[in-house]
């Protein structure tokens, strides 16, 4: 019996093999040419789109110079070297400069918008090209078209790299735009820096020594609380709470420029007496796998003090509350880093001169929860002189961190509450727990501990009354 | 019709350092072209050898004989290419060669490379069809391939003649 052919079964004809070969060669050549063409065009466009704005640096330099002159004016006014009228005249002279800067920033925003639009359309055309190439790559399964497939694959890789570059550039443009808005706000507020001094609107005077003391106090208390193990750290992204018994990643920092100024203004004892905008950071890092892999940040808890260090250096004191635009310029890079690293960052920022009303309203979320600025960052503001803490009570992410940022220890809070209760008790027959809570807004456990502490001191006794709750009576 | 610069660009991509203008690179260019031709022909031979082995396994002696003819022709052609009188052409001895001569050389090389591409690709296609079992007209295709190889041989001979007569 004849052996059955394995390959030469003659199930069909090859047809015009030469024509097919020529077609494949031509197609490969066209793909190669097209790729070279697209690559050249895209390269050129990319250079245009990712190029740096020269105007941005120039305008920023002008803005710095303008700010320096305003600051000088303010310092002279505060030192009594300039009368109110003279300051007003000088301020009026600077008005046109301010308006011009604001206009330039406005134009720059327009430029950024155009560039973002161009990037968007470039991303769109890259997407289309990607679709064509994917179809080309997947169209052929024969080894004969390997070259066409390789060319398509090569360009697809290039496209994904280009797309990433463009997306990163777009992201940085969005950030630049938000920074420009902050700078515009700062410009609008710049007049009030001098106006407030002329109208004597400043509510608080904080000397450099006091500011430094508040700063040290805030950071030291925060550090103490963060070392009262076990420390519970809530991670909203993971929906879990870490129990920390030892900090592996912790550091302190302060701003270099302020530190230099502080050293220059050091007292005779050689101890810096200027606030340093010091901060303390605790991080929880986890590896990708249980024991192997790259370590990634999961939660960062940071407390830092924020002062107008330039004023402390030049005047030795400060009267300005931290404004909304200053707060935003501090938060912008923090948000950017947290979003890039995709970790949760809980922030407590303390200011010895306090916070202005817009900043407080914003952080408390009174304008329909507007303090929710990022999925990755939650913030609370601390007035380190008065001890007040401002945060959004509806933002569950920050609630568990408030006690760490609060400048008082629990015992101090209980003592303070005991004093309030004693004063109230002097004029009343009994004190209702709920009414005290309504009045003071202090944590319930603090009021409860104060009630029982007073009972131990034989000031009165605690009783549970049906329908009323806990009561303190004689 | 491709322009002269695009022909050079096209050849430059296939043969690194392709340039007949300078005397010192002329010899190297000729050698590189011939090496490229020989290498690619050997690739086509490998494909046809595979097809011949499969035909032998299936007892298709007639097909094996036809492929053998082509393989023999390729072998001879490769020897001819590799042993072509190297450097004896007046074109390689003078400092300056006129543009017409350069254009002719480029045209010969382009024709050879294109014919070679078709031969290699056709051998790949034949192998592909054999694997699919569509082989009823394989002898015609192998003969066509032999004819294309003959055309290429003629072009190569013309190129050699042109070089030697200069």
Query: Minimal Cα–Cα distance from A149 to chain B, Å?
Result: 15
Q: Say what the pLDDT of residue B144 is.
A: 92
B117 or A84: whose pLDDT is higher?
B117
- The residue assigned the tokens 């298709």 is B60
Cα atoms in the 13 Å half-sphere on the side-chain side of A4? 2
Give the list of residues 6+ apart from residue A400 with CB closer than 8 angstroms, or none: A232, A234, A241
* Pick from A381, A382, A260: nearest CA to A309: A260
- For residues A194 and A74, the answer to whether their CB atoms sit within 8 Å is yes
The CATH number for B116's domain is 1.20.120
- For residues A309 and A255, the answer to whether their CB atoms sit within 8 Å is yes
Mutate to test the interface with B, among A17, A23, A145 (most CBs of B within 10 A): A17
Does residue A293 surpass a pLDDT of 80? no
With a pLDDT cut of 90, the percent of chain B lying above it is 51
Cα atoms in the 13 Å half-sphere on the side-chain side of B141? 29
Q: Map chain A to HEC letters.
A: CCCCCCCCCCCCCCCCHHHHHHHHHHHHHHHHHHHHHHHHHHHHHHHHHHCCCHHHHHHHHHHHHHHHHHHHHHHHHHCCCCCHHHHHHHHHHHHHHHHHHHHHHHHHHHHHHHHHHHHHHHHHHHHHHHHHHHHHHHHCCCHHHHHHHHHHHHHHHHHHHHHHHHHHHHHHHHHHHHHHHHHHHHHHHHHHHHHHHHCCCCCCCEEHHHHHHHHHHHHHHHHHHHCCCCEEEEECCCCEEEEECCCCEEEEECCHHHHHHHHHCCCCCCCCCCCCCCEEEEEEEEECCCCCCCEEEEEEEEEEECCCHHHHHHHCEECCCECHHHHHHHHHHHHHHHHHHCCEEEEEEEECCCECHHHHHHHHCCCCCCCCCCCCEEEEEEECCCCCEECCCCCHHHHCCHHHHCCCCHHHHHHHHHHHHHHHHHCCCEEEHHHHHHHHCCCHHHHHHHHHHHHHCCCCEEEEECCCEEEEEC
β-strand A469-473 against A430-432: which pairing, if any?
antiparallel
β-strand A344-351 against A317-318: which pairing, if any?
unpaired
Structure tokens at A166: 């463009």
Query: Among partner residues B59, B122, B136, which is closest to A17 by beta-carbon distance?
Result: B122
Q: Say what the pLDDT of residue B60 is.
A: 93
Count of domains for chain B? 1
Cα B20 to Cα A119: distance, rounded to the nearest angstrom? 45
Give the list of residues 6+ apart from residue A120 with CB closer than 8 angstroms, or none: A170
Structure tokens at A60: 């920023």
Q: Measured between beta carbons, which residues in chain B are less than 8 angstroms from residue A10?
A: 133-136
- For residues A14 and B137, the answer to whether their CB atoms sit within 8 Å is yes
Cα A468 to Cα A432: distance, rounded to the nearest angstrom? 7
Mutate to test the interface with B, among A18, A35, A145 (most CBs of B within 10 A): A18
State which of A41-55, A346-360, A409-423 shows the largest mean pLDDT: A346-360
Average per-residue pLDDT in chain B?
87
Q: Which residues pair with A104 in a beta bridge?
A: none
Q: Measured between beta carbons, which residues in chain B are less than 8 angstroms from residue A11?
A: 132-136
What ipTM was reported for this prediction?
0.88
Q: Say what the pLDDT of residue A127 is.
A: 86
- For residues A284 and A299, the answer to whether their CB atoms sit within 8 Å is yes
Q: Which residues pair with A383 in a beta bridge?
A: A351
Boundaries of every domain in chain A? 17-197, 203-407, 411-473
- For residues B43 and B127, the answer to whether their CB atoms sit within 8 Å is no
Q: Is the dihedral of CA A5, A7, A12, A13 positive or negative?
A: negative
- The residue assigned the tokens 């519970």 is A232
* Cα B163 to the center of its chain, rounded Å: 17
Does residue B1 surpass a pLDDT of 50? no
- For residues A401 and A382, the answer to whether their CB atoms sit within 8 Å is no
Cα A452 to Cα A441: distance, rounded to the nearest angstrom? 18
Query: Distances in Å between the alpha carbon of A215 and those of A307, A385, A462?
Result: 9, 10, 39
Q: Say what the pLDDT of residue A52 is.
A: 62
Structure tokens at A431: 């004190």
CATH number for the region A411-473 comes to 1.10.10
Does residue A395 surpass a pLDDT of 60? yes
Does residue B24 surpass a pLDDT of 70? yes
Over residues A30-69, the pLDDT tens digits come to 777 777 777 777 777 767 766 666 677 788 888 888 888 8
Over residues B135-160, the pLDDT tens digits come to 999 999 999 999 999 999 999 999 98
Q: Say what the pLDDT of residue A350 is.
A: 94
Cα A73 to Cα A314: distance, rounded to the nearest angstrom? 12
Mean pLDDT across A334-344? 87
Cα B38 to Cα A408: distance, rounded to the nearest angstrom? 87
Query: Minimal Cα–Cα distance from A36 to chain B, Å?
Result: 12
Mean pLDDT across A431-444? 87
- For residues A154 and A137, the answer to whether their CB atoms sit within 8 Å is no
Cα A125 to Cα A293: distance, rounded to the nearest angstrom? 37
Q: Which residues pair with A301 in a beta bridge?
A: A282, A346
β-strand A377-383 against A344-351: which pairing, if any?
parallel
Q: Measured between beta carbons, which residues in chain B are less than 8 angstroms from residue A20?
A: 125
Mean pLDDT across B31-54? 93
Over residues A248-284, the pLDDT tens digits come to 889 999 876 544 544 454 444 444 578 889 999 999 9
Does residue A203 surpass a pLDDT of 70? no
Residues of chain B whose C-beta is under 8 A from some C-beta in A?
54-55, 57-60, 63, 114, 117-118, 121-122, 124-126, 128-138, 141, 144, 148
A192 or A83: whose pLDDT is higher?
A83
Query: Among partner residues A3, A14, A144, which is closest to B137 by beta-carbon distance?
Result: A14
Q: How many CB pairs under 8 A join A and B?
A: 84
With a pLDDT cut of 90, the percent of chain A lying above it is 12
- Domain range for B108 is 4-165
Mean pLDDT across A379-384? 90
In chain B, the residue whose alpha carbon lies closest to the alpha carbon of A141 is B128
Over residues B65-113, the pLDDT tens digits come to 999 999 999 999 999 999 887 667 777 777 788 888 888 888 999 999 8
Q: Say what the pLDDT of residue B26 is.
A: 86
- The residue assigned the tokens 């015009």 is A16
Q: Map chain B to HEC letters.
A: CCCHHHHHHHHHHHCCCCCCCCHHHHHHHHHHHHHHHHHHHHHHHHHHHHHHHHHHHCCCHHHHHHHHHHHHHHHHHHHHHHCCCCCCCHHHCCCCCCHHHHHHHHHHHHHHHHHHHHHHHHHHHHHHHHHHCCCCCHHHHHHHHHHHHHHHHHHHHHHHHHHHHC
State which of A117-131, A201-215, A229-243, A439-453 shows the largest mean pLDDT: A229-243
User: With an 8 Å Cβ cutoff, are B133 and A9 in contact?
Assistant: yes
In chain B, the residue whose alpha carbon lies closest to the alpha carbon of A4 is B58
* Pick from A270, A75, A452: nearest CA to A262: A270
């Amino acid at each position: 019996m004849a052996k059955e052919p394995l390959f030469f079964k003659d199930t069909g004809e090859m047809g015009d093999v030469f024509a097919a070969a020529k077609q494949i060669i031509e197609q490969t050549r066209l793909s190669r040419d097209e790729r070279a063409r697209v690559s050249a065009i895209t390269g050129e466009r990319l250079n245009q789109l990712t190029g740096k704005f020269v105007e941005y640096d120039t305008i920023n330099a002008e803005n710095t110079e303008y700010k320096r002159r305003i600051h000088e004016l303010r310092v002279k006014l505060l030192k009594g070297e300039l009368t109110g009228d003279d300051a007003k005249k000088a301020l009026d002279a600077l008005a046109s400069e301010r308006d011009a800067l604001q206009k330039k920033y406005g134009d720059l925003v327009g430029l950024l918008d155009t560039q973002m639009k161009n990037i968007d359309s470039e991303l769109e055309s890259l997407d289309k090209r990607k679709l064509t190439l994917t179809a080309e790559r997947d169209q052929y399964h024969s080894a004969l078209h390997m070259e066409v497939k390789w060319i398509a694959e090569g360009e697809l890789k290039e496209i994904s790299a280009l797309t990433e570059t463009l997306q990163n550039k777009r992201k940085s443009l969005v950030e630049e735009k938000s920074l420009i808005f902050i700078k515009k706000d700062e410009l609008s507020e710049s007049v009030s820096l001098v106006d407030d001094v002329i109208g004597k609107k400043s509510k608080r005077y904080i000397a450099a020594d006091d500011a430094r003391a508040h700063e040290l106090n805030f950071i030291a208390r925060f550090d103490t609380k963060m070392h009262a193990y076990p420390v519970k750290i809530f991670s909203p992204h993971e929906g879990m709470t870490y129990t920390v018994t030892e900090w592996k990643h912790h550091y302190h920092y302060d701003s270099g420029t302020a530190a230099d100024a502080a050293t220059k203004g050091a007292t005779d004892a050689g101890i810096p007496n200027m606030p340093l905008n010091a901060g303390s950071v605790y991080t929880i890092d986890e590896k990708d796998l249980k024991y192997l892999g790259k370590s990634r940040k999961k939660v960062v808890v940071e407390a830092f003090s924020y002062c107008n260090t330039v004023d402390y250096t030049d005047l030795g004191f400060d009267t300005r509350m931290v404004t909304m635009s200053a707060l935003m310029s501090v938060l912008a890079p923090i948000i950017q880093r947290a979003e890039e690293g995709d970790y949760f960052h809980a922030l407590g920022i303390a200011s010895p001169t306090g916070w202005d009303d817009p900043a407080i309203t914003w952080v408390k979320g009174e304008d329909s929860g507007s303090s929710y600025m990022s999925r990755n960052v939650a913030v609370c503001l601390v007035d380190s002189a008065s001890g007040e803490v401002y945060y959004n009570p509806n933002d569950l992410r920050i609630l568990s961190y408030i006690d760490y940022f609060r400048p008082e220890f629990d015992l101090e809070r209980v003592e303070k509450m005991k004093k309030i209760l004693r004063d109230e008790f002097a004029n009343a027959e009994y004190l209702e727990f709920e009414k005290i809570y309504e009045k003071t807004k202090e944590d319930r456990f603090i009021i409860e501990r104060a009630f029982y502490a007073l009972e131990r001191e034989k000031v009165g006794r605690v009783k549970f009354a049906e329908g009323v709750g806990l009561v303190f009576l004689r | 019709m491709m322009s002269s610069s695009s022909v050079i660009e096209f050849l430059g991509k296939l043969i690194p350092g392709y340039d007949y203008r300078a005397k010192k690179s002329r010899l190297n260019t000729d050698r590189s072209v011939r090496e490229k031709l020989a290498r690619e022909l050997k690739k086509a031979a490998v494909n046809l050898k595979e097809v011949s082995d499969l035909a032998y396994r299936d007892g298709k002696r007639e097909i094996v004989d036809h492929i053998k003819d082509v393989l023999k022709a390729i072998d001879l052609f490769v020897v001819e290419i590799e042993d072509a009188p190297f450097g004896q052409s007046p074109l390689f001895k003078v400092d300056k060669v006129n543009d017409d001569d350069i254009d002719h050389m480029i045209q010969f090389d382009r024709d050879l490379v294109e014919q070679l591409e078709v031969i290699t690709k056709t051998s790949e296609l034949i192998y592909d069809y054999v694997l699919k079992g569509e082989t009823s007209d394989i002898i015609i295709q192998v003969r066509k391939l032999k004819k294309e190889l003959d055309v290429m041989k003629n072009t190569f001979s013309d190129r050699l003649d042109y070089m030697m007569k200069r």
